[in-house]
């Protein structure tokens, strides 16, 4: 399974907001410039993250976007789940009706376990963890530098 740009860019966007939105809302055009992603694409992603309760927005000349929760309360797994939808690695683990061998398949449980392991790991990493990793690596404090 490959995560799409939705997950990668959505995580980068949320991380950018976490890094740059501590004192004031962050404009989507600024995020787009820092991350090298189109404003239009980020607007689609931010809409979904807002509906899920991870982002809040403020209108007006000093408006923009902020995290609706603390960075330590938002996991990468949650962001991926919102933006990707189906969390199955293979079709049959999410929908048994796509294969007539689901009851006897020897590999089906392997794919289920692999998906669970991936999401267990993604659920264990918060935006705060990613922010701390950058500072611990001794990297210059370049706020908004793409991490993925």
Per-domain residue ranges for the chain? 5-136
User: 5-136, what's its fold?
Assistant: Arc Repressor Mutant, subunit A (1.10.10)
Q: Report DSSP state, residue 66.
A: E
Q: Examine the pLDDT at 139 and tell me if it is beyond 60.
A: no
Residue whose token pair is 């659920």: 123
- Rounded CA-CA distance 92/94 in Å is 5
- Rounded CA-CA distance 37/68 in Å is 22
What integer pLDDT is reported at residue 142 of this predicted model? 45
What integer pLDDT is reported at residue 3 of this predicted model? 83
All residues at 6 or more sequence positions from 139 whose CB lies less than 8 Å from its CB, including other chains: 145
- Tell me the mean pLDDT in the region 98-104: 81
- Tell me the mean pLDDT in the region 83-99: 79
Q: Examine the pLDDT at 58 and tell me if it is beyond 70.
A: yes
- Tell me the mean pLDDT in the region 6-11: 96
């Amino acid at each position: 399974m490959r995560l799409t740009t939705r997950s990668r860019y959505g995580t980068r966007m949320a991380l950018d907001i976490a890094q740059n939105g501590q004192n004031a809302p962050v404009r989507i055009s600024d995020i787009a410039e820092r991350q090298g992603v189109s404003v239009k694409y980020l607007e689609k992603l931010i809409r979904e993250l807002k509906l899920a309760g991870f982002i809040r927005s403020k209108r007006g000349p000093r408006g923009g976007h902020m995290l609706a929760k603390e960075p330590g309360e938002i996991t990468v797994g949650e962001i991926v789940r919102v933006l990707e939808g189906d969390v199955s690695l293979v079709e049959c683990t999410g929908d048994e009706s796509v294969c007539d061998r689901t009851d006897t398949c020897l590999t089906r449980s392997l794919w289920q376990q692999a998906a669970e392991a991936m999401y267990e790991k993604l659920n264990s990493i918060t935006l705060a963890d990613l922010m701390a990793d950058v500072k611990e690596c001794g990297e210059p404090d370049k706020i908004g530098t793409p991490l993925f």
